[in-house]
Structure 1
Amino acid sequence: MDAATLDVEYNARATTPEMPAIVEGYRTRTGAARAALAWSTHAYGPTEPERLDVYPAGANAPVLVFIHGGYWRALDSADGGSMAPAFVAAGACVVSVNYTLAPAASLDRIVDECRRALAWVHANIARFGGDPARIHVCGSSAGGHLAGMLLVSGWQAGLGLPERAVSGATLLSGLFDLTPLPHTHINAWMSLDTASVARNSPALLPLPSGLPVVLAYGDTETAEFKRQTIDFASALRDAGCDTVLLPARPGSNHFDIVFDLGEPGNPLFEATRRAMGI
């Protein structure tokens, strides 16, 4: 594709005129979760953005770690807790991760922050009832990419984590092969080059085997966003993961599939619940 076509294909906002209202709903529903549940914020690093919100559950509970999207340059953990009431009610501890946004942080730094957040969860979540052996990572859009970077193999020992620090993943409309992005408007704030693309593309890195992974995308997504998920699902299957690619909910879009994650009975919630063993 030429640069003009790639710009259209990777402009998720243009596919969803109602995007501002949906994104406002992230904050509103997270606020409702905070009002209804016990929760607390904790630092996993030295700077203000390096924090996460913990919604505890019962003893020895599986843990859902959610990473927000926003093309690495927008949103906050305060937008990432809409699914907490449903998963806490199902018996899971929920963690919403915050990170430094681009362009203040490079993608290398953002990935490193999310990995250190996971290390914090692994070391500390038992204090909140969570089982560090059952951490299921989840993210939407750019957060799907970041969750994918937690899933890949080879980095865990450097942070004192076991190779199987993650027990599964749910990836919503993520970006897994970043090769096209330097040729799009996104690079105005990401400053990606060939080397950083290679370091930060889950589809180009070693993948684990034997893990349950759920993937989904919105019905009205562009062909490229759909391809990213379909191709990564195939790569995960080839690696030996127990991979479920859900059919798109009719009428769903790049942004509102996050709400499906918080609705018991919805196929996305139910597939994630089963992958977590609850």
Structure 2
Amino acid sequence: MSNKRMRVWVLAVSGVLMAILSGCSPLKVLNALTPSSSFSKVSGIAYGSDPRQKLDIYQPKSAVPNAPVVVFFYGGSWNSGSREDYGFVGEALASRGMVVVLADYRLYPQVRYPAFLQDGAQAVAWTYRHIADYGADPARLYLMGHSSGAYNAAMLALDPNLLAAQGLSPALIKGWIGLAGPYDFLPIANQDVRPVFFYPDSPPDSQPINHVSRGAPPALLMASSKDSLVNPQRNTGGLATTLRRAGVPVQEFYFSRTNHGTLVAALSRPLRGLAPVLDRVTEFVGATPAQ
């Protein structure tokens, strides 16, 4: 990294840290620092009848023939989050030649497990059936998520019953990407998450690690080695080991300069110096950077 780029990066990191200390949302700061010149956006497409069942589509400004499509699910412990907060994710992936679908889904206390996964299956089904109209190839469909959103992506890729309810199969998924995901977390320690999964009677079927099978889609798993919220060794490491034992292709990376939250923030232009998250996703998807 050149001295000039280093200075810009330090200033950007300092700005985000100041926003956190002053009580401002760091996601809003990242979005404010995200350019809009690399993508076009279609907002508020309904994939279901509930007000939360809507999605946005980010397309590369310069069209990429047969572009891959990535459906991204954000985190928030299944009780918070909004697709509008993750525009920096849409920009990052679109700038690398991907068509990106950012989907909202119903949250607790409106719903509990597995309703938000059923929403995810609906969003994936809508994408598979309509994304060709937006310049993407449905045969190059990937799922991606951060934190509880990575859990959603994992369950949709690993539990065939979810997509089967939409008349589809995980076989249509080219691969999936998990950032700091909880994949094996019973018994539940997080007080905010307990009611989402009916603690203390949380069903074992709610755990992605219990759905691994030989035919599962390839996975790219990334985590922060210093993650204090979701144990990376048990979750990312444990799932990667289980996938390999089943013969499923999996890549696994750990980064030392990020934490649970900044792992996804490293996709943003201001914080890409923290970890090569975007480069790993681009390589995995095999995307062609937009010109």
Normalising by the smaller structure, the TM-score range is: 0.7 to 0.9
Superposition RMSD in Å: 2.8
Q: Which residue of 1 aligns with 2:9?
A: none
Partners of 1:177 and 1:148 lie apart in 2 by 11
Residues 30 and 96 (structure 1), Cα distance of their counterparts in 2 relative to 1, 3 Å cut: farther
Select 2:78's aligned residue among 69, 72, 77.
72
1:107 pairs with 2:109: no
Select 1:231's aligned residue among 231, 238, 255.
238
1:61-100 alignment runs, 5 A limit: 61-100=67-106
Partners of 2:149 and 2:168 lie apart in 1 by 21
Superposition deviation, residue 64 in structure 1 = 1.4
Q: Residue 43 of structure 1 aligns to which amino acid in structure 2?
A: A
Superposition deviation, residue 26 in structure 1 = 2.2
1:43 pairs with 2:43: no
Superposition deviation, residue 224 in structure 1 = 5.4
Select 1:141's aligned residue among 129, 135, 147.
147
Contact 1:212 1:275 in 2 (8 A): no
Superposition deviation, residue 247 in structure 1 = 2.2
| 1:246 counterpart SS class | strand
Partners of 2:68 and 2:105 lie apart in 1 by 23
1:221-268 CA distance string (max 9 Å, x none): 138521211101111222222211112233x11001102234578532
Superposition deviation, residue 96 in structure 1 = 0.8
Give the TM-score of the pair, scaled to structure 1: 0.83
Partners of 1:200 and 1:20 lie apart in 2 by 36
1:56 pairs with 2:65: no
Contact 1:108 1:196 in 2 (8 A): no
1:160 pairs with 2:201: no
Residues 231 and 88 (structure 1), Cα distance of their counterparts in 2 relative to 1, 3 Å cut: same
Question: For structure 1, which segment, 263-272 or 149-158, has the greater mean C-alpha deviation from structure 2 after superposition?
Answer: 263-272
1:269 pairs with 2:278: yes
Point out where structure 1 has 5 or more consecutive residues left out of the alignment.
1-15
Q: Residue 82 of structure 1 aligns to which amino acid in structure 2?
A: F
1:236-251 alignment runs, 5 A limit: 236-250=243-257
1:198 pairs with 2:198: no
1:25 pairs with 2:26: yes
Contact 2:157 2:216 in 1 (8 A): no
Partners of 1:87 and 1:56 lie apart in 2 by 9
Superposition deviation, residue 174 in structure 1 = 0.8
Percent identity among equivalent residues? Answer: 25
Partners of 2:168 and 2:34 lie apart in 1 by 30
Superposition deviation, residue 194 in structure 1 = 6.7
Q: Which residue of 2 aligns with 1:11?
A: none
Residues 22 and 228 (structure 1), Cα distance of their counterparts in 2 relative to 1, 3 Å cut: farther
Superposition deviation, residue 274 in structure 1 = 1.4
Partners of 1:61 and 1:22 lie apart in 2 by 39
Partners of 2:23 and 2:167 lie apart in 1 by 38
1:9-65 CA distance string (max 9 Å, x none): xxxxxxx9x968898232343466584431112111101000111002333110111
Contact 2:230 2:260 in 1 (8 A): no
Residues 131 and 87 (structure 1), Cα distance of their counterparts in 2 relative to 1, 3 Å cut: same
Contact 1:213 1:244 in 2 (8 A): yes
Superposition deviation, residue 211 in structure 1 = 3.5
Q: Which residue of 2 aligns with 1:185?
A: 191
- What number of residue pairs does the alignment pair up? 261
Partners of 1:170 and 1:161 lie apart in 2 by 20
Partners of 1:114 and 1:27 lie apart in 2 by 24
Partners of 2:77 and 2:23 lie apart in 1 by 15
